Amino acid sequence: MVCLGNICRSPLAEGILKEHCKKKNLNWVIESAGTAGYHVGSAPHNQSQKVALQHQIDISEQRCRKFVKEDMDRFDLIFAMDHQNYIDIKQLSEEKWDTNKVKLILNEVHSIKNKDVPDPWNGTDKDFLYTFQLLEIACESIMNNYCAFE
């Protein structure tokens, strides 16, 4: 799961998808990262932690890291939160770029095409809730699209 800062959107996506996997006893390796290094080592944004906890998901242990090109080898799928993340992942991946692995996360939802998950950074609790709800739908779709054990 990749966004710009790895403190608002992608930690939520990581937390939500991990919760799905826990419920289904799946041992998927799920991580998140940012294309920028502004917040490396920091915990997720307070408002992301808050909205996650309101939905019984604890993301407080996560720590921000920057996307590295080796992630392209380590993961089968890489979900970008928005179009700019996609472009930045491509640039950071250099020779390791694999177009088949990188997806816009909302494209997993069949009724949504080529839309961005809005960045709630500097936004209200309502903005963080909207982001959470979009990511819930996206992660539900990821389970439907890639999990054979329904």
Q: Is 2 in the site for ligand 4NP (CB under 6 A)?
A: no
The only residue of 5, 51, 75, 88 in contact with ligand 4NP, by rule CB under 6 A: 5
Cα–Cα nearest to 48, from 131, 118, 115, 142: 131
Query: CA 34 to CA 32: how far, in whole Å?
Result: 7
Give the three-state DSSP class for 131: helix
The only residue of 28, 97, 121, 130 in contact with ligand 4NP, by rule CB under 6 A: 121
- Could you confirm whether 64 is annotated as catalytic? no
Q: Is 6 in the site for ligand 4NP (CB under 6 A)?
A: yes
SS3 content of the chain, % helix, strand, coil (to 5): 45, 5, 45
The only residue of 14, 88, 108, 119 in contact with ligand 4NP, by rule CB under 6 A: 119
Comparison of 37 and 140: residue with beta carbon closer to ligand 4NP: 37
- Could you confirm whether 125 is annotated as catalytic? no
Query: CA 131 to CA 67: how far, in whole Å?
Result: 21
Active-site choice (8, 9, 71, 82): 9
Contacts of 53 (CB under 8 A, 6+ apart): none
- Could you confirm whether 9 is annotated as catalytic? yes
Give me the active site residues, please: 3, 9, 119
Binding residues for ligand 4NP (CB under 6 A): 3-9, 38, 119, 121
